[in-house]
Structure 1
Amino acid sequence: MSKPKPFISRASTLQDALAAVARLPGVMTQAIQQWGEIEIEVRKREPKRSLDQNRLQRLWCREAGEQGDMTAEEYRGQMKLHHGVPIMRRDSEEFAEKYDRLIKWRPYEEKLEFMQSPFDFPVTRGMNKQQKTEYLNAVYVDLTGRGFRLTDPGLKGIGPDQYREAA
């Protein structure tokens, strides 16, 4: 039997919140019937990483792949392992437990494989905007420090042939 999904409702206005509360009695009845005991939690929502952040990460990996000796996917895996994993291990006990149990003890080459397709161990997928910003800053410093020329996100709309030099 599959595990039931939790009821999650997001609200940024009182009207949205009241609409979610109106659905709550039916959801709670069904949950108690399936699970027996439930927990109700209200917390501040941490927005997930943005689509712009995701596109920038992919762009930088593609640019590194065009300039370096690895593919874009290999650079993506390397960046996830070197910069994403430490952020997520620091900020998420669940991530740290799973990473340590499944991947940490493996040889470096295998860790890199687990970060790439087809395995694609979820690292940046679980980041919020602040974590993804920290990650992208570390990736930018790492890759430009190795001599790669990356599109500067501050130049929005300017072609990749018009770089601003890294400091």
Structure 2
Amino acid sequence: MSKAKAYINTAATLQESMAAIARLPGIVTRAIQDWGRVDIVVRPHEEKRSLDQNRLQRLWCREAGEQGDMTAEEYRGQMKLHHGVPIMRRDSEEFAEKYDRLIKWRPYEEKLEFMQSPFDFPVTRGMNKQQKTEYLNAVYVDLTGRGFRLTDPGLKGIGPDQYREAA
């Protein structure tokens, strides 16, 4: 018999909600058997970062890699460490605890290594759309402030509702 795992279901209509509720008795029964006590939470759905935001981040890192003295992956790691980590530490107690326990105390060069492949400590992966927008704004300001020329997201078919240009 397998252990219960967290059950998360996103619903946008009453029909979707009722279908999810119909599955709850079995899920809650197994969870209580495995865990004892459970929390049942209903909360607003947060949009995860978009594929366009992910593509834009990768594009900017490639462009920085072509113009600068590091690889695209090194710029990606640097941006995650300098801009993504502060956002996630501010907004997620779980992230802050893991980052502080596993990485914060390490020398700077090791922190950068942990942000890149093959370790790739999950930073932007856990962001919602608003956090990723804040992150991209900071990356844009940082890299263009260093003189890098970056693709304007408006020219790549990314609408203003998906990304807000840095001021």
Deviation at 1:22, TM superposition (A): 0.8
Determine the C-alpha separation between the residues in 2 that align with 1:119 and 1:136. 22
Q: Which residue of 2 aligns with 1:156?
A: 156
Q: Which residue of 2 aligns with 1:101?
A: 101
Q: Which runs of 4+ in 1 moved over 4 A?
A: none
The answer on whether the counterparts of 2:65 and 2:75 sit within 8 Å (CA) in structure 1 is yes
Deviation at 1:30, TM superposition (A): 1.7
Q: Which residue of 2 aligns with 1:36?
A: 36
Secondary structure in 2 matching 1:118: coil
Q: Cα gap change, 1:89/1:122 in structure 2, threshold over 3 Å: closer, same or farther?
A: same
**Equivalent residue runs for 1:18-167 within 5 Å:** 18-157=18-157
Q: Which runs of 5+ in 2 are unaligned?
A: 158-165
Q: Which runs of 5+ in 1 are unaligned?
A: 158-165
The answer on whether the counterparts of 2:61 and 2:72 sit within 8 Å (CA) in structure 1 is yes
What fraction of aligned residue pairs are identical, expressed as a percent? Answer: 87
1:59-106, CA deviations, whole angstroms, 9 ceiling, x for partnerless residues? 000110011100000000000000000101111111111111111111
Q: CA RMSD in A?
A: 1.9
Secondary structure in 1 matching 2:103: helix
Determine the C-alpha separation between the residues in 1 that align with 2:24 and 2:7. 9
The answer on whether the counterparts of 2:5 and 2:31 sit within 8 Å (CA) in structure 1 is no
Give the aligned residue type for 1:130.
Answer: Q
Tell me which moved more, 36-45 or 144-153.
Answer: 36-45
Determine the C-alpha separation between the residues in 1 that align with 2:118 and 2:26. 40
Determine the C-alpha separation between the residues in 2 that align with 1:150 and 1:49. 20
Q: TM-score, normalised by structure 2?
A: 0.90
1:4-48, CA deviations, whole angstroms, 9 ceiling, x for partnerless residues? 421111101111001101111111122222222222111111111
Determine the C-alpha separation between the residues in 2 that align with 1:36 and 1:129. 34
Determine the C-alpha separation between the residues in 2 that align with 1:27 and 1:100. 34
Secondary structure in 1 matching 2:114: helix
Deviation at 1:2, TM superposition (A): 8.0
Give the aligned residue type for 1:109.
Answer: E
Deviation at 1:3, TM superposition (A): 6.0
Q: Cα gap change, 1:98/1:83 in structure 2, threshold over 3 Å: closer, same or farther?
A: same
The answer on whether the counterparts of 2:47 and 2:128 sit within 8 Å (CA) in structure 1 is yes
Give the aligned residue type for 2:23.
Answer: R
Give the aligned residue type for 1:114.
Answer: F
Report the count of equivalent residues. Answer: 160
